């Protein structure tokens, strides 16, 4: 449609029809007989028949046949035959599930992430979807928050690169292209700062930190062209984000230039009443529309109130028109007026979904996301060894994550299945060893058909079998971790530990065979003090996705050399949380070994996390030369080049992530001790050498300063280049501005 035709359409719509466009409902309700749904499954939402007929968007269902049928049905119900937008959370893959975002962050490989998003978009598009609620650009610092799994970690720069990569991967250059879906950057803004790591909790962030740490990744997604943004559940400066005019109009729209569709998070407009910000639904509707929220996700707050509010003169109809215009424009950008089914195609669905090419990418992406936290020489294993594979994750298909809502556990390859492809059966043993969880652990979520209760006798037998297998083996691969429902939305944990029943197994097995390699499944950093002390190797595999088993076997055998680096610091223990590398220095910084009494430190634990951001080992070793800067001063418009020589001094080919950090030594506001500014992945054969050169420009030194926007300030800057955030390989230059 031309813009003019689109405008004509908008002008010809009744007020009720326009309000309908701002409503999103669950697709499953629309597919039922309307009366049955309103009386049954949808009762309680307060919708009326007309709402269902006029709704502009649907959530939660995929499948070409179903969505083609639903689109036809809804277009007949709509007076102007306007097609619906079909949306779903395609977070880290659709049916082919890639590693969880926290793992993708650890790959430090935005190109790979872009490919994963592109592949997910392809599967989503043939299944009839138009929009995915991804990427989640929320910065995270508190490992207790379950949604750290959906984030690419604690660093604004890495998150920005990853968010932009996902947007590009999902959307390509033109949403009309086959295989593309619209991306939705979420949750705007600051949701990752939920106090005490408790989901939906208040976020208390200073303007300075909000602007410098939290906002950049959302902005990167918007600059990459994201068609949609989703509001967050938290308050920002005391005002719920979903009704926050300043946040949405001044920052998102005016400053960041976002022109796309703003959708509320699930029921978030309604929840402004619980926040104590809106008096009732009508007030909530008014505040959200005035803030510029275009779509109400799954409540009747807009549909039940906007018409009346306009009639009573309490809301300017132009605000409604503005919202509907953006929604219609997105539909038009997706080409839905010409082709309301877009790429939905049952035949292509069969061809594309889980095809070998997609599985191969999932395998590669998973292996790249793994982080080798410890290895005292026991890895990689060799085919001549007798290996006991023990643990609840040895033959567990459910390793996709709670946000792999279109993934199916039955498609995934377990460690055992993958190991059986490469190891001779006579030297291998496989056993579960223990349940994944103690009886009665609280979980919330959708798919738990697995056995959850075990008798004491069953546990004893499992343990006995495991210990016998461990005794016979040269090396034990112990596959442990969180249940997938222990990470994700509404899955905050105060104790970020491996479930105790598995720790008991770990202790029993380690007692009979000290050669234990822990393969750790988790959606978040865990307290690994005991494991890292006793195990000979620890491989963090996150929630690795459909090809997890193959990827793990690839890494354990050395077919793939691990190269992941932590995207989030692993705290020493939960009492240290939040702990992140890019903190401010304080006036009394503590340095290891300093015994002065009045320093910023704990009496009982170290200040440093157990494993810092950017850290990860390889089967080979790299030496990084002293850093060289080509000049000592920098003026705007110029660049300083920072170079190091990286050499593979080990025995096998490997990949190192060379990281550039900068510290602004003195400024008008305190600046972090280090900030990641760039990184490069280099793959080297044994003995091979490569020079890695980073260019530093004045723009990279900017930070947000109240009242001035992003500025740099003259003075000394320290540059660090190394293979983790703890590198001390540094040189200084001076920024001159006159």
- Catalytic residue numbers? 265
How many residues touch ligand BGC under the rule CB under 6 A: the total is: 6
Q: Does 601 bind ligand BGC (CB under 6 A)?
A: no
**489-508 binders of ligand BGC (CB under 6 A):** 489
Q: Does 463 bind ligand BGC (CB under 6 A)?
A: no
Indicate which single residue of 265, 296, 345, 664 sits in contact with ligand BGC (rule: CB under 6 A): 265
Q: Which is closer to ligand BGC, CB of 89 or CB of 349?
A: 89
d(CA 669, CA 707): 13
Q: Which is closer to ligand BGC, CB of 443 or CB of 689?
A: 443
Q: Does 170 bind ligand BGC (CB under 6 A)?
A: no
Q: Which is closer to ligand BGC, CB of 18 or CB of 186?
A: 186
- Surface-to-core class of residue 4, CB atoms within 10 Å of its CB (0-12 exposed, 13-18 middle, 19+ buried): exposed
d(CA 237, CA 202): 10
- Closest distance to ligand BGC from the beta carbon of 186 (Å): 6
**Residue with tokens 């006798």, as numbered in its chain:** 457
Quick one: tokens of 707?
């009242």
Instruction: Using alpha carbons, select from 500, 462, 496 the residue that is nearest to residue 480.
Output: 500
Provide long-range contacts, Cβ within 8 A and 24+ apart, for 28-36: 28/60, 28/61, 30/55, 30/58, 30/70, 30/73, 30/74, 31/61, 31/66, 31/69, 31/70, 31/73
Q: Which is closer to ligand BGC, CB of 159 or CB of 332?
A: 159
Here's the x/- map for ligand BGC, 309-338, by CB under 6 A: it reads as ------------------------------
Beta strand 85-88 pairing with 131-132 = parallel
Beta bridge partners of 476: 388, 516
- Closest distance to ligand BGC from the beta carbon of 419 (Å): 35
d(CA 549, CA 540): 13
Q: Does 89 bind ligand BGC (CB under 6 A)?
A: yes
d(CA 461, CA 361): 39
Torsion of CA 135, 136, 139, 144, to 10 degrees: -140
- Closest distance to ligand BGC from the beta carbon of 489 (Å): 6
d(CA 146, CA 200): 11
Beta bridge partners of 226: none
Q: Which is closer to ligand BGC, CB of 265 or CB of 656?
A: 265
- Closest distance to ligand BGC from the beta carbon of 523 (Å): 14
Q: Which is closer to ligand BGC, CB of 302 or CB of 622?
A: 302
Here's the x/- map for ligand BGC, 90-129, by CB under 6 A: it reads as ----------------------------------------
Of all residues in the shown chain, the one whose CB is closest to ligand BGC is 133
**662-701 binders of ligand BGC (CB under 6 A):** none
Q: Does 266 bind ligand BGC (CB under 6 A)?
A: yes
d(CA 329, CA 21): 12
- Closest distance to ligand BGC from the beta carbon of 89 (Å): 5
d(CA 79, CA 56): 12
Indicate which single residue of 92, 186, 326, 348 sits in contact with ligand BGC (rule: CB under 6 A): 186
Q: Which residues of 459-470 are buried (b: 16+ CB within 10 A; e: fewer)?
A: beebbebbbebb
- Closest distance to ligand BGC from the beta carbon of 299 (Å): 12
- Closest distance to ligand BGC from the beta carbon of 297 (Å): 7
Residues 6 or more apart in contact with residue 221 via CB below 8 angstroms: 135, 137, 163, 164, 166, 167, 183, 185
Longest dimension (CA), the chain: 81
Torsion of CA 584, 585, 588, 594, to 10 degrees: 130
- Closest distance to ligand BGC from the beta carbon of 61 (Å): 12
Quick one: tokens of 242?
């979903």
- Closest distance to ligand BGC from the beta carbon of 227 (Å): 15
d(CA 22, CA 600): 51
**225-244 binders of ligand BGC (CB under 6 A):** none
Q: Which is closer to ligand BGC, CB of 200 or CB of 337?
A: 200
Indicate which single residue of 29, 86, 108, 133 sits in contact with ligand BGC (rule: CB under 6 A): 133
Q: Which is closer to ligand BGC, CB of 411 or CB of 489?
A: 489
Here's the x/- map for ligand BGC, 39-68, by CB under 6 A: it reads as ------------------------------
Interface positions with ligand BGC (CB under 6 A): 89, 133, 186, 265-266, 489
């Amino acid at each position: 449609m031309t813009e003019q035709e689109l405008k004509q359409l908008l002008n010809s719509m009744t007020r009720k029809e326009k309000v309908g466009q701002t409503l999103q409902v669950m697709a499953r309700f629309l597919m039922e007989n309307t009366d049955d749904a309103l009386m049954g499954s949808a009762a309680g939402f307060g919708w009326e028949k007309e709402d269902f007929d006029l709704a502009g968007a649907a959530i939660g269902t995929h499948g070409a046949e179903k969505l083609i049928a639903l689109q036809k049905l809804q277009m007949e119900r709509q007076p102007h035959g306007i097609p619906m937008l079909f949306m779903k959370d395609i977070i880290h893959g659709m049916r082919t599930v890639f590693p969880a975002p926290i793992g993708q962050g650890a790959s430090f490989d935005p190109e790979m992430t872009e490919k994963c998003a592109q592949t997910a978009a392809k599967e989503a598009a043939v299944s009839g979807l138009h929009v995915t609620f991804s990427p989640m650009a929320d910065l995270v610092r508190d490992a207790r928050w379950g949604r750290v799994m959906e984030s690419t970690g604690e660093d604004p720069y890495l998150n920005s690169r990853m968010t932009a990569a996902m947007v590009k991967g999902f959307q390509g250059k033109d949403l009309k292209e086959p295989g593309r879906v619209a991306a939705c950057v979420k949750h705007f803004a600051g949701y990752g700062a939920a106090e005490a790591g408790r989901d939906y909790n208040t976020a208390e962030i200073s303007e300075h930190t909000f602007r410098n740490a939290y906002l950049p990744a959302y902005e990167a997604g918007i600059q990459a062209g994201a068609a949609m943004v989703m509001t967050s559940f938290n308050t920002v400066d005391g005002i719920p984000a979903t009704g926050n005019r300043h946040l949405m109009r001044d920052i998102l729209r005016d400053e960041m230039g976002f022109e796309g569709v703003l959708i509320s998070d699930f029921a978030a407009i309604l929840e402004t009443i619980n926040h104590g910000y809106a008096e009732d639904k009508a007030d909530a509707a008014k505040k959200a529309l005035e803030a510029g929220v275009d779509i109400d996700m799954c409540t009747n707050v807009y549909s039940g109130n906007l018409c009346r509010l306009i009639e009573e003169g309490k809301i300017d109809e132009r605000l409604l028109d503005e919202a509907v215009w953006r929604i219609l424009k997105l539909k038009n950008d997706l080409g839905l007026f010409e082709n309301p089914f877009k790429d939905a195609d049952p035949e292509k669905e069969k061809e594309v979904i889980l095809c070998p090419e997609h599985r191969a990418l999932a395998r590669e992406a998973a292996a790249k996301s793994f982080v080798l936290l410890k290895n005292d020489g026991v890895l990689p294993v060799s085919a001549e060894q007798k290996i006991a594979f023990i643990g609840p994750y040895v033959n567990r298909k459910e390793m996709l994550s709670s946000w792999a809502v279109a993934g199916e556990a039955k498609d995934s390859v377990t460690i055992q299945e993958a190991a059986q492809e490469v190891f001779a059966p006579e030297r291998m043993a496989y056993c579960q060893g223990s349940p994944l969880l103690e009886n009665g652990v609280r979980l919330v979520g959708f798919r738990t058909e697995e056995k959850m209760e075990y008798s004491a006798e069953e546990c004893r037998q499992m343990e006995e079998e495991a210990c016998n297998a461990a005794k016979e083996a040269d090396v034990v691969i112990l596959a442990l971790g969180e249940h997938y429902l222990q990470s994700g939305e509404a899955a905050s944990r105060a104790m970020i530990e491996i479930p105790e029943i598995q720790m008991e197994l770990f202790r029993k097995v380690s007692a009979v065979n000290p050669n234990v390699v822990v393969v750790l499944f988790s959606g978040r950093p865990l307290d690994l003090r005991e494991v890292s002390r006793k195990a000979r190797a620890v491989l963090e595999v996150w929630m690795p996705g459909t090809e997890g088993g193959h990827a793990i076997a690839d890494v354990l055998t050395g077919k793939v050399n691990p190269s992941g680096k932590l995207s989030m610091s692993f705290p020493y223990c939960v009492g240290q949380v939040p702990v992140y590398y890019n903190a401010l220095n304080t006036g009394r910084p503590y340095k290891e070994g300093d015994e002065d009494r009045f320093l910023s430190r704990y009496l009982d634990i170290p200040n440093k996390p157990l494993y810092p951001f950017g850290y990860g080992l390889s089967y080979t070793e790299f030496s990084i030369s002293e850093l060289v800067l080509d000049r000592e001063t920098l003026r705007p418009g110029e660049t300083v080049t920072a170079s190091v020589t990286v050499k593979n001094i080990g025995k096998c080919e490997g990949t190192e992530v060379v990281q550039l950090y900068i510290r602004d030594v003195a400024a008008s506001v305190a600046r972090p001790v280090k900030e990641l500014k760039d990184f490069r992945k280099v793959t080297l054969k044994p003995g091979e050498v490569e020079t890695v050169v980073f260019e530093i420009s004045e723009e990279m030194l900017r930070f947000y300063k109240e009242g001035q926007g992003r500025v740099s300030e003259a003075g000394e800057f320290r540059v660090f280049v190394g293979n983790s955030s703890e590198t001390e390989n540094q040189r200084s230059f001076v920024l001159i501005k006159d």
